[in-house]
């Protein structure tokens, strides 16, 4: 099968302010259950995209660093081959897809996921009756016992492709925007087709500042990070 | 044994046949991707949706948004790509207004109190009954109109006009409440530049930003717009990456993103700003005219470098470097607010900070400080200043002496947000005969009410807003209803207009409209007549009206401020050094409260998305914590999760310890926003309200609450519980040789 597009993202750490707009936009778009206090205490909160904060130094020479973290949609995803029921697979557009109605909740994929971006539904998601009005009808609500993860807002990709086809034209850079990228006030997140040499994301993926997190595993992540620029950096890394 | 030619041919033939058969039996590519016969998420067919431009009004500032509506339900908030303050972006708070709309604890009908005042026990009544009671009370006290107090949030736009004309026609006392107000910044800008409206710093074009306490990436002024500008400022699109220096006694989110965080002793920002100005003056690196005009006032007030170092705690070398960088890397801009203004010498600090802009003559220029003109409409309030702490103190005193008969409260929760030392709750509960609330949630002030007339949320009603601060030119954002209310509520503006009509006489003076929609439309007609700006040359008003609603507002990039950019200042008001409530010997720590990044001053604590949004620095959620320096924690022998009593001269609250490596040793920080006794299922009973232990100290000149001027002591309770937080939820993947977070010192910047 010919691979037409390869969706990917660039994350400019120099622009990310840690404002969390992407986190809430994602939760709204993708019907993510309300993360209660207990969920955090049990380390079972669900955030398809999250902002990790790293410390560098201690007062007065101290820096805090922010890294948006989401499913890396790896070309050789280690979570895919371990699924016994093909609930997660790689589609021909570079997406690491999760098929909820196949998932039987073995959690092998989460075990094999080095980025901790797969989430298990330990509880049946519950919203008060009125809040259910807000749920996005394009996105399945995941029931207890199955895995979920960032889908690159696949529902938006499908909708855009369908609308663009109806208009009788090709998808161009900027047509498809996942919820997190759309909200990002500083434009730190850029989404697009890595196979399209003219796309913004493809340009950023070749930047002098680009690197991929846990690149040494050889999984070929589709998310390119751009290094934070800091002439006054204490070290060239930050600790967790 | 040799292989004959015949055998060789047979073997190779079999081999080739085997290869063909094997290849033929290969599973086709498609089969590797097992397809389910049922729908998989990527094949879902979605329904029809529609997008409408309207406003979200989170506590961080009004945002123009597009709402995705499907079958009459609002599904998603997206930033309005057209409106200059939004640029297609939106904040977490704006997104969460969906949960405000569909909140299970929204007040569904008008209510009449049945239990004891403050108990929160109400019965449902009809709108006719509620409006009748309100009108009867207002008629009853019309002989003593000053005894009626109307407390709202600072209101702009048409609703601001309606509310203020209603109050002035009646003769009522009008107050505007905001827990963290901009009174001091506004006063400084008024004194220096005669500005009533907040200016905007052109951060995106600046090469150097000197920020004194203004946490503009989190909660200060227009954080959404400033975040967008910051993205441009960091980008290489301008050919130069800007430098941000944050001067603040606390490590805020803006400090975390700054190139340099300069830790300063609380309340000494003015001394530092003047020391910087003095260096610029001595080295003659400022604008010649600016230096000449300000020479006398700077020389009269600036302290010499060694004294400045002593007072501020910032080294002389750093002061000189900031002065040189600021003068050299123009365009640059100096802004101030937040903790620097929340001191007893706030006005001194702010005047000194904003003076720096005049010294380098950056006002009205690219990369500098841009003034915002008034809206070109007579029936629209362009700016909305909050009343000061001293105003509220006076109101509480009048309540205690039975001079206040009626309190009308809308969009403000003074019972929760005013410092505990004011005893505002008690004054209102015991002394005010009649309280009516127009809130859509049962907050602390509404729980005290006798009558509740619930308002719409912005997505259900008509409105507008003059962005304050604006983008540096005239701009008006419009709000239209995008969904029908699912509860029996009415617009506050409509209720005021109907009440004015019902009271008759002079009450309708200047209020010719029947509804807020009429007011918005008549303002739009004036805009249509201007025939300039973003929407123009429409043949008819009806077409203009549709256009202006579709785009979410009107703006004119050419209509910039014509005001003089010269600073007028003879003296710097107030004291150079601050005073604090509580003696240092007894109360060893400065208490530096801060607005919760997600929930602000507490107005959004009822929204579960925002409760569950990790604080950017500590990553804590659903709680109140006290940030402590690691060394201080060691000395007190406490660790994360230990519950401490935080005691000021005016009260005590409990909070969990969070050991923060960036907290200075003489400081503790506590987020605002929690500790609600009312306000629905997601807010009640969580954490503590830091405002309740603040002393009622204020800026000497403006009377604004000095919320950074209380000192505290810490006592162990012996109890502990884990801090709910994101940090530690996933295992660290950091390898020394392969850091997750990589930093460039700028050499490979591309």
Can you give the pLDDT at residue B568? 83
List the domain boundaries for chain B.
111-180+378-560, 183-370, 589-720
Q: Yes or no: say if B360 and B332 are a contact pair by the CB < 8 Å rule.
A: yes
Query: Does residue A177 lie within any of the structural domains?
Result: yes
Is the CB of A208 less than 8 angstroms away from the CB of B609? no
Name the residue facing B619 among A37, A53, A209 (closest C-beta).
Answer: A53
- Distance CA(B462)–CA(B482), nearest Å, equals 10
B174 vs B410: CA distance, rounded Å: 11
Q: Do B111-180+378-560 and B589-720 show the same overall fold?
A: no
The answer to the question of residue A175 being in a domain is yes
DSSP alpha helix (H) spans, B536-596: 541-551
Pair type for strands B463-466 and B642-648: unpaired
Confidence of residue B442 (pLDDT cuts 50, 70, 90): very high
Interface of A with B in 102-121 (CB under 8 A): 102, 114-116
Q: Which A residues in the span 146-165 are in contact with B, Cβ-Cβ below 8 Å?
A: 151, 154-155, 157-159
pLDDT at A166: 87
Residues 6+ apart with CB under 8 A from B626: B644, B646, B655, B656, B657, B658, B668, B669, B670, B714
From the list A17, A24, A216, the residue facing B738 with the nearest CB is A216
- B41 confidence band (pLDDT: 50, 70, 90): low
- Of the candidate ranges A156-170, B329-343, B612-626, the one whose mean pLDDT is the lowest: A156-170
Identify which of A23, A137, A229 has the shortest CB distance to residue B47.
A137
Q: Pick from A17, A130, A233: which is nearest to B227 by CB? A: A17
Q: What's the average model confidence in pLDDT over B489-514? A: 96
Is the pLDDT reported for residue A82 higher than 80?
yes
Cβ–Cβ contact B446 with A under 8 A:
no
Please answer yes or no on whether A230 and B744 come within 8 Å at the CB atom: yes
CA distance B725 to chain A (A): 6
**B46 Cβ under 8 Å from any chain A Cβ:** yes
Residues of A within 8 A of B80 (CB-CB) are none
Which chain B positions have a beta carbon within 8 Å of A175's beta carbon? none
Count of domains forming chain A = 1
The pLDDT tens digits for B627-646 are 999 999 999 999 999 999 99
Say which CATH topology domain B183-370 has. Dimethylsulfoxide Reductase; domain 2 (3.40.228)
pLDDT of A1 higher than 90? no
Q: What is the pLDDT of residues A177-204, one digit of tens each?
A: 999 999 999 999 999 999 999 999 999 9
Contact pairs from chain A to chain B, CB under 8 Å:
304
Residue A61 at interface with chain B, using a CB cutoff of 8 Å: no
Tokens of A133: 């009005």
Picking from A217, A152, A19, A194, the residue whose alpha carbon sits closest to that of residue B93 is A19
Confidence band for B473, pLDDT divided at 50, 70 and 90: very high
CA distance A135 to chain B (A): 6
Asked if A126 has any chain B CB less than 8 Å from its own CB, the reply is no
Interface of B with A in 214-253 (CB under 8 A): 217-218, 223-224, 227-228, 230-231, 234-235, 241, 251, 253
CA geometry: angle B559, B563, B566, nearest 5 deg: 140
pLDDT tens digits, residue range B117-156? 999 999 999 999 999 999 999 999 999 999 999 999 999 9
Mutate to test the interface with B, among A2, A5, A11, A19 (most CBs of B within 10 A): A19
Please tell me whether the interface predicted TM-score (ipTM) of this complex is above 0.85.
yes
User: End-to-end distance of chain B based on CA atoms, in angstroms?
Assistant: 70
**Most B CBs within 10 Å, among A146, A207, A229, to test the B interface:** A229
* Domain-embedded: residue A220: yes
Half-sphere exposure at residue A24, Cβ-oriented, CA atoms within 13 angstroms: 32
Indicate yes or no: CB of A187 within 8 angstroms of CB of B231.
yes
Q: In what order do the strands lie in the sheet with B463-466?
A: B463-466, B473-479, B553-560
Is any Cβ of chain B less than 8 angstroms from the Cβ of A217? Answer: no
Taking an 8 Å cut-off on Cβ atoms, the answer to whether A133 and B102 are in contact is: yes
Residue A121 covered by a domain:
yes
How many residues does this entry show for chain A?
Answer: 240
| Chain A, window 171-210: residues with a beta carbon less than 8 angstroms from a chain B beta carbon | 179, 182-188, 207-209
The CATH number of residue A48's host domain is 3.30.70.20
Range B111-180+378-560 has CATH code 3.90.1170.50: no
- Residues in chain A within 8 Å Cβ distance of B29: 1
pLDDT value, residue B45 = 61
Q: Cβ separation of B29 and A1 shorter than 8 Å?
A: yes
Residues 17-36 of B with CB under 8 A from A: 29-30, 33-34, 36
Average pLDDT over residues A123-142: 93
Encode pLDDT of B345-402 as tens digits: 999 999 999 999 999 999 999 999 999 999 899 888 887 889 999 999 999 999 999 9
Domain assignment of residue A173, given as a range: 7-226
* pLDDT cut 90: percent of chain A above it: 82
Nearest to B742 among A38, A186, A236 (CB): A236
| Over residues A25-32, mean pLDDT | 97
For A128-148, b where at least 16 C-beta lie within 10 A, e where not — what string? Answer: eebbebbbbebbbbbeeebbb
| Residue appearing with tokens 């990228």 | A181
Which of A162-176, A225-239, B379-393, B653-667 is the most confident on average? B653-667
Is B589-720 in CATH node 3.20.20.140? no
Length of chain B in terms of residues written: 750
Average pLDDT, chain B: 92
Pair type for strands B473-479 and B148-152: unpaired
pLDDT band of residue B42 (cuts 50, 70, 90) is low
Work out the end-to-end distance of chain A between its first and last CA atoms, rounded to an integer number of angstroms. 41
C-alpha–C-alpha distance, residues A65 and A14, integer Å: 9
As separate numbers, helices (DSSP H) first and strands (DSSP E) second, chain A gives 6, 11
On the question of pLDDT at B34 being above 70, the answer is: no
| B115 shares contact with chain A (CB less than 8 Å) | no
B35 vs B463, more confident: B463
């Amino acid at each position: 099968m010919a691979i037409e597009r390869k969706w990917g993202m660039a994350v400019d750490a120099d622009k990310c302010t840690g404002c969390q707009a992407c986190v809430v936009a994602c939760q709204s778009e993708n019907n993510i259950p309300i993360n209660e206090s207990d969920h955090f205490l049990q380390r079972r909160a669900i955030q398809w995209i999250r902002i990790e904060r790293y410390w560098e130094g201690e007062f007065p020479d101290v820096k805090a660093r922010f890294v948006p973290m989401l499913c890396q949609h790896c070309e050789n995803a280690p979570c895919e081959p371990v699924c016994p029921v093909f609930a997660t697979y790689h589609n021909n557009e570079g997406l690491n897809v999760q098929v909820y109605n196949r998932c039987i909740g073995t959690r092998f994929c989460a075990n094999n996921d080095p980025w901790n971006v797969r989430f298990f539904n330990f509880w049946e998601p519950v919203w008060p009756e009125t809040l259910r009005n807000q749920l996005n009808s394009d996105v399945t609500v995941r029931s207890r016992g199955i895995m979920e993860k960032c889908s690159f807002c696949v529902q938006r990709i499908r909708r855009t492709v369908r609308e663009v086809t109806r208009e009788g034209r090709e998808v161009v850079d900027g047509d498809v925007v996942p919820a997190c990228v759309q909200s990002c006030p500083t434009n730190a997140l850029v989404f697009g087709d890595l196979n399209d040499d003219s796309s913004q994301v493809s340009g950023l993926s070749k930047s002098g500042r680009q690197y991929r997190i846990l690149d040494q595993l050889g999984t070929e992540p589709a998310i390119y990070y751009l290094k934070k620029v800091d002439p006054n950096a204490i070290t060239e890394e930050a600790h967790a | 044994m040799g292989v004959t030619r015949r055998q060789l041919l047979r073997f190779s033939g079999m081999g080739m046949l085997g290869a063909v058969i094997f290849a033929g039996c290969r599973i086709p590519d498609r089969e590797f991707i097992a397809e389910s016969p049922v729908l998989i998420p990527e094949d879902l067919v979605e329904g029809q949706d529609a997008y409408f431009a309207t406003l979200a009004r989170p506590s961080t500032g009004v945002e123009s948004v597009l709402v995705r509506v499907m079958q009459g339900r609002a599904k998603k908030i997206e930033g309005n790509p057209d409106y200059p303050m939004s640029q297609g972006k939106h904040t977490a708070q704006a997104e969460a207004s969906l949960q405000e709309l569909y909140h299970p604890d929204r007040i569904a009908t008008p209510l009449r109190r049945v239990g004891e005042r403050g108990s929160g026990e109400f019965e449902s009544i009809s709108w006719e009954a509620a409006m009748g009671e309100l009108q009867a009370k207002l008629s009853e006290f019309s002989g003593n109109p000053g005894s009626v107090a109307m407390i709202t949030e600072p209101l702009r736009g048409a609703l601001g006009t309606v509310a203020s004309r209603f109050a002035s026609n009646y003769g009522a006392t009008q107050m505007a409440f905001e827990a963290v107000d901009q009174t001091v910044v506004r006063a400084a800008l008024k004194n220096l530049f005669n500005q009533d409206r907040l200016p905007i710093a052109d951060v995106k074009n600046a090469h150097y930003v000197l920020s004194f306490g203004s946490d503009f990436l989190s909660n200060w002024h227009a954080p959404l717009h400033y975040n967008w500008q910051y993205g441009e400022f960091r980008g290489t699109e301008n050919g130069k990456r800007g430098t941000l220096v944050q001067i603040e006694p606390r490590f805020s989110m803006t400090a975390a993103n700054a190139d340099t965080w300069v830790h300063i002793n609380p309340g000494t920002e003015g001394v530092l700003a003047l020391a910087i100005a003095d260096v610029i003056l001595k080295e003659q690196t400022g604008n010649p005219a600016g230096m000449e005009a300000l020479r006398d006032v700077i020389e009269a007030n600036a302290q010499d470098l060694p004294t400045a170092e002593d007072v501020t705690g910032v080294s002389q070398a750093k002061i000189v470097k900031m002065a040189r960088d600021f003068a050299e890397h123009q365009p640059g801009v100096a802004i101030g607010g937040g903790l620097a203004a929340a001191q007893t010498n706030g006005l001194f600090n702010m005047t000194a900070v904003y003076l720096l802009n005049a010294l380098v003559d950056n006002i009205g220029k690219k990369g500098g400080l841009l003034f915002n003109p008034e809206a070109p409409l007579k029936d629209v309030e362009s700016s909305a200043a909050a009343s000061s702490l001293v105003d509220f103190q006076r109101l509480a005193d009048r309540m205690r002496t039975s001079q206040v008969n009626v309190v009308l409260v809308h969009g403000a929760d003074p019972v929760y947000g005013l410092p505990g030392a004011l005893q505002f709750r008690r004054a209102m509960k015991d002394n005010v005969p009649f309280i009516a609330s127009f809130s859509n949630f049962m907050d602390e002030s509404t729980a005290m009410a006798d009558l509740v007339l619930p308002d719409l949320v912005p997505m259900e009603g008509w409105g507008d807003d003059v962005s304050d601060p604006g983008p540096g030119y005239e701009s008006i954002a419009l709000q239209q209803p995008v969904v029908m209310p699912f509860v029996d509520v009415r617009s506050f503006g409509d209720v005021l207009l109907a009440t004015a009509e019902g009271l008759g006489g002079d009450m309708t003076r200047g209020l010719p409209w029947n509804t807020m929609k009429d007011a918005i439309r008549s303002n739009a007609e004036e805009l249509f007549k201007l025939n300039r700006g973003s929407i123009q040359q429409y043949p008819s008003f009806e077409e203009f009206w549709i256009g202006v609603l579709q785009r979410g507002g009107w703006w004119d990039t050419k209509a910039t401020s014509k005001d003089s950019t010269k600073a007028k200042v003879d003296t710097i008001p107030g004291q150079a050094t601050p005073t604090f409530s509580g003696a240092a010997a007894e109360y060893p720590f400065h208490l530096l409260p801060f607005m919760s990044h997600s929930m602000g001053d507490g107005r959004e604590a009822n929204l579960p998305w925002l409760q569950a949004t990790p604080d950017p620095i500590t990553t804590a959620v659903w709680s109140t914590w006290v940030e402590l320096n690691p060394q201080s924690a060691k000395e007190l022998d406490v660790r994360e999760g230990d519950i401490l009593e935080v005691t000021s001269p005016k009260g005590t609250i409990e909070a969990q310890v969070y050991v923060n490596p960036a907290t200075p040793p003489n400081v503790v920080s506590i987020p605002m926003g929690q500790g609600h006794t009312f306000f629905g299922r997601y807010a009640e009973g969580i954490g503590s309200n830091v405002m309740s232990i603040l002393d009622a100290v204020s800026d000497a000149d403006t009377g604004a609450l000095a919320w950074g001027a209380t000192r505290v002591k810490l006592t162990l309770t012996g109890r502990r519980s884990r801090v709910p937080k994101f940090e530690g939820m996933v295992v660290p993947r950091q390898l020394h040789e392969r850091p997750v977070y990589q930093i460039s010192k700028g050499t490979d910047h591309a």
